[in-house]
Chains A and B, each alone.
Chain A
């Protein structure tokens, strides 16, 4: 855990040499404790002190990278149990299982579908993260060929799934440069798996389903063998078991600083699921409750879209809602007679409204007011979206210069603002628009006459 300023001071040379830019070692130590400067600014730090500081700075859950290149996935390094306490940092990787017993055309088709899947939400492109190649055949050549085939079709990260070191070795000969995650070391094969992980510089998953003590014992063995990038699988496969076990693992790492289990967790929600829906819902639970890598068995866009949306929801920093810059936005190519709509700068509100205006083919002006990233009703309730604020925005962004009319459409459930707004903007006609973004097109068609 983090050291105090005094504890850091004790590790410093205490020469007050000022090389770090601070007048005394103590002053420097205080800044380091506050994370305002890096310890590396001290030129005379002893090896021993460096190690002590590094150990203290080591995150309670190790950050592990799967894959190489642009699309690599980084998981772990979480610091809280609940997102409201700070935020969740590293969204779990969503990977899809490919069986090496499947026909090559089938494999190629799945890889193509998953790798090219992309869906837009609040101005972001959401994508899936990789493939887990499962050595169902038990055959080394089949496994290696399958891995090679998948790798030839995508640069997304891979997980190699085999408990047979010979099969793992065969596949690694083909695809090791992509730094796949090796799944998994168990109590019978761990020495050989450690050897392979070290030889190819790959992260290694550790599996033990007979209790967390056994799992901890095995990770310690693996880590003593020299592998540090570890992902753990406690074997929890159902809803209740997964929730309990993953909660315990997160608590052990964060609350007890228990190093042997301070690693990201890999889950397989499809293994105990009877349907795609059930699998998706368990994956959803695991996104919120503590998984690092989620390997899915069934791909379809209608499952991928809600899963990616949920991941975005849960991993958004609660202190920083996605915001739009306040101002006047052009939707399509608006003319001076085009409608003027008003809304907040909560990104979701903006994209819902802009999307509807676009799809209903209404070129228009959209005035986005600064509500500190809050949605219409929330910001109204918090007093950040009122008549005064709207009137101020109308003037500040000189909305009138673009348009020949003086009509303004209020969107969302804030009809209550009309009266006050008419007082604030006496030259304007205030129109109360629809409650839901999706009804904007119909509303304008019926009511817009300017």
Chain B
């Protein structure tokens, strides 16, 4: 019989390429895919999927003990923490300005500037700065972060439907990238990308966060939403073609399966391995549905996910 003919899809679109870092610090480009995840035979995947590591500007009070012991003392200092994350293999540092949350210490611009400065001087990796996700506070601390980070081309997040203007404007002024975050809905994601583009942010300076559901807690919604966004991008829709960021560590480690060691069913098994797998399964599933950057928490997960990305990036 004749040789089997491989079906190859002819995609017309492409995920936008977005560069972070540069000017004296390492730079990284994400996006640029012209096919579905890792289907090297039908298109190009010019940039490796990036692994970012989350650092907070204050010592986390609610982290699982296994996470705390994996990091140790550096959790008290964002600079030292970022440095250690770089040693563990982070491609990008994500600095979460958590202390600015009104229910935490409600810190303001000055503290934000200091934390961003610490991280930028501690490592030469590209940086993403996330606010506490409270609109007014985000505007305050991200504008401050933007100023300090001028020239380092960081990503500022998050632009939400209610407060994208200030953050987008400051990103344009200081030459940064923005992250557009929407709640697991394809039309909302597209609409916010359009709004942000309309006020002048170029498409090579927008990342999107379609909202991450952890394994067992809405993973399937994120998974399918991201597949739909990625397919729409490949079919030529430039407003769904922003590279995707997933806050995997934050979501996975919020769940009981990852956090709780005692008083759970025996069928949940060894806590250490289960909690790691919870983060890793969430990461690999979302990488296979189109993520360009996954933000992780556990150093071991960083190692395992990076090794898996290497395997997936290798041409068959």
Name the residue on B nearest A380 (C-beta): B183
Interface membership of B54, Cβ < 8 A? no
Enumerate chain B residues within 8 angstroms of A240, measured Cβ to Cβ: 38, 40, 311-316
> Could you tell me if A300 and B285 are in contact, using CB atoms closer than 8 angstroms?
no
Interface membership of A170, Cβ < 8 A? no
**B262 CB → nearest A CB, Å:** 11
**A218 CB → nearest B CB, Å:** 11
Q: With contacts A278-B304, A302-B277 known, is A248 near B6, CB below 8 A?
A: yes
Q: Which of B216, B263, B265 is most buried by chain A, counting CB atoms within 10 A of its CB?
A: B216
Interface residues in A118-176 by Cβ distance below 8 A to B read 118-121
- How many residues of A sit at the interface, in one of the four size bands? 35 or more
**A82 CB → nearest B CB, Å:** 5
> Could you tell me if A301 and B266 are in contact, using CB atoms closer than 8 angstroms?
yes
- 1/0 contact trace for B246-272 toward A, CB 8 Å? 000000001011011001011111110
> Could you tell me if B311 and A239 are in contact, using CB atoms closer than 8 angstroms?
yes
Name the residue on A nearest B3 (C-beta): A213
Name the residue on A nearest B309 (C-beta): A239
Q: How many residues of B contact A (CB 8 A)?
A: 61
> Could you tell me if B40 and A117 are in contact, using CB atoms closer than 8 angstroms?
no
> Could you tell me if A239 and B312 are in contact, using CB atoms closer than 8 angstroms?
yes
Task: Report which of B231, B304, B312 forms a contact with A243, defined as CB distance below 8 A.
Answer: B312
> Could you tell me if A288 and B38 are in contact, using CB atoms closer than 8 angstroms?
no
Chain B binder among A47-55, A311-319, A396-404: A311-319
Q: With contacts A83-B224, A241-B316, A316-B220 known, is A305 near B7, CB below 8 A?
A: no
Enumerate chain B residues within 8 angstroms of A121, measured Cβ to Cβ: 216
- Interface of A, helix, strand, loop or mixed by DSSP: helix
Chain B binder among A60-68, A190-198, A254-262, A330-338: A254-262
> Could you tell me if A306 and B4 are in contact, using CB atoms closer than 8 angstroms?
no
> Could you tell me if B4 and A261 are in contact, using CB atoms closer than 8 angstroms?
yes
**B70 CB → nearest A CB, Å:** 15
> Could you tell me if B4 and A301 are in contact, using CB atoms closer than 8 angstroms?
no
A352–B218 CA distance with the chains assembled, in angstroms: 13
> Could you tell me if B285 and A288 are in contact, using CB atoms closer than 8 angstroms?
yes
- 1/0 contact trace for A274-300 toward B, CB 8 Å? 001110110011001100000000001
Interface membership of B149, Cβ < 8 A? no
Name the residue on B nearest A318 (C-beta): B224
Residues of chain B at the chain A interface (Cβ within 8 Å): 1-7, 36-41, 183-185, 215-221, 223-224, 227-228, 231, 254, 256-257, 259-260, 263, 265-271, 273-274, 276-278, 280-281, 284-285, 288-289, 304, 307-308, 311-316
Q: A240-B315, A248-B6, A303-B269 are in contact. List 12 more A-B contacts (CB 8 A).
A: A119-B267, A220-B1, A239-B312, A280-B277, A281-B308, A285-B288, A301-B266, A302-B273, A304-B267, A310-B281, A375-B218, A378-B183
